[in-house]
Amino acid sequence: MSELRKDPIGGRWVVFSSGHNKGPGDFPSTLKERSGEPYDRSCPFCRGNEHYTDHEIFRIPDPAGWLVRCVPNHFPALAVENVLQKKGDGIYDCMAGVGAHEIIIDTPNHSQVMAALSHHHFQQVLNTYRQRILDLSRDLRLQYALIFKNHGRNAGQMLPHSHSQLIALPFIPRRVQSEIDATARYLQFKDRYLFDDIMQQELTDGSRVFDQTANFVALCPYAPRFPFEVWILPKVHNPRFETLDDAGTAELAGLFRATLQRINRALNFPAYNLMLHNAPMHLPPRMDEWVASYHWHFELIPKITRMAGFELGSGCYINPTLPEQAAAFLRGIDPEE
């Protein structure tokens, strides 16, 4: 039978149709792991080609030079140098393109992908995410920093060298604002945190959880928009990713790395999009309590299906794979094989 499920955080409905039920073998491979030379003389992200990028913002050093490096995007969507000016245009609103657009180069090795990083190296990528959010939070004009990764051409990756991006905005994006609103309403009506209740139910039920550590969990959410959509989040309530300490990022790195390896083995190395949803950096005082109800989390979406007219026209989604089926398959994979 078909089933409709409502996402309690985003508020959207998802259709699960028995006539379209698909397992991992029903999705064609969209990306093969790269192999080849660790250095490309024309690649601006390779170690030794640092002169091809704009001024360096941040780096994690290692004996050979650097392990992770952050530079401005050469073609930024927004610029920190702009002056924040808001104005009306008739009934419309606009402002100058103030913000930041940075490239976080995950590795100096041209042919290395994120899932293949060592545990220590993966932790340093997460530490770079954390440090860049902390640094940009000093700019009071910026309200939100979105960290994301496009892996593979089908996911929008333009340069083949593994990298993440950070875009800081002078407003809170609608998707995150809707999640904050949902958690705030839940707190008002039930005097409890929505994500805490979700955590309790998911850990008790267990059917959508496929991996966990003492403090973090990897699961397929109850009403995922896409097949094999995965969330990674802390078990204990925490609105802000950047408050993690070194021990926390080390623990998270192990779970995160294993999750990418499971996805690769399950879906034959798919392209994917990765996003960090985090509490805003700066808010009016009236929103402090609302944001306190939020819960940071990573969302990982393999690019194995495409949105079509129904999704674009309705804001609802058709997903051919139940999250319980996806989680069961991921649980059965040894990430270290």
In a domain, 336, yes or no: no
pLDDT higher than threshold 90 for residue 303 = yes
Q: What is the dihedral of CA 240, 243, 249, 251, to 10 degrees?
A: -80
In a domain, 212, yes or no: yes
Residue type, 147: I
Structure letter (DSSP) for residue 244? -
In a domain, 239, yes or no: yes
pLDDT reported for residue 290:
73
Q: How many domains is the chain built from?
A: 1
Place of tokens 């794979």: 321
Interior CA angle at 296 toward 221 and 93, to 5°? 100
Tokens of 308: 């079509």
- Which element (helix H / strand E) includes 163? strand 163-169
Least confident of 155-164, 166-175, 211-220, 303-312: 303-312
Mean pLDDT, rounded, for 217-230: 96
- pTM of structure: 0.93
Least confident of 24-28, 256-260, 275-279, 309-313: 24-28
In a domain, 62, yes or no: yes
pLDDT reported for residue 36:
64
pLDDT band for position 33 (50/70/90)? low
Separation between Cα atoms, residue 122 and residue 197, nearest integer Å: 30
Q: Which of 163, 277, 295, 297 is flagged as catalytic?
A: 163
pLDDT reported for residue 82:
77
pLDDT reported for residue 308:
85
Query: Contact, 38 vs 269, CB < 8 A?
Result: no
Separation between Cα atoms, residue 279 and residue 5, nearest integer Å: 26
* Residue 163 falls in the annotated catalytic set: yes
pLDDT band for position 285 (50/70/90)? low
Query: Contact, 139 vs 267, CB < 8 A?
Result: no
- Tell me the CATH number at 46: 3.30.428.10
pLDDT higher than threshold 60 for residue 30 = no
Mean pLDDT, rounded, for 268-296: 86
In a domain, 307, yes or no: yes
What is the span of the domain harbouring residue 203? 3-331
Burial 55-68 (b: 16+ CB within 10 A, else e): eebebbeeeeebbb
Phi, psi of 88, rounded to the nearest 5 degrees: -95, 150
pLDDT higher than threshold 60 for residue 34 = no
pLDDT reported for residue 307:
83
3-state class (DSSP) for residue 111? coil
Query: Contact, 260 vs 232, CB < 8 A?
Result: no
pLDDT reported for residue 310:
85
Least confident of 164-168, 180-184, 249-253, 283-287: 283-287
Note the pLDDT tens digit of each residue in 119-136: 999 999 999 999 999 999
In a domain, 200, yes or no: yes
pLDDT reported for residue 312:
86
In a domain, 9, yes or no: yes
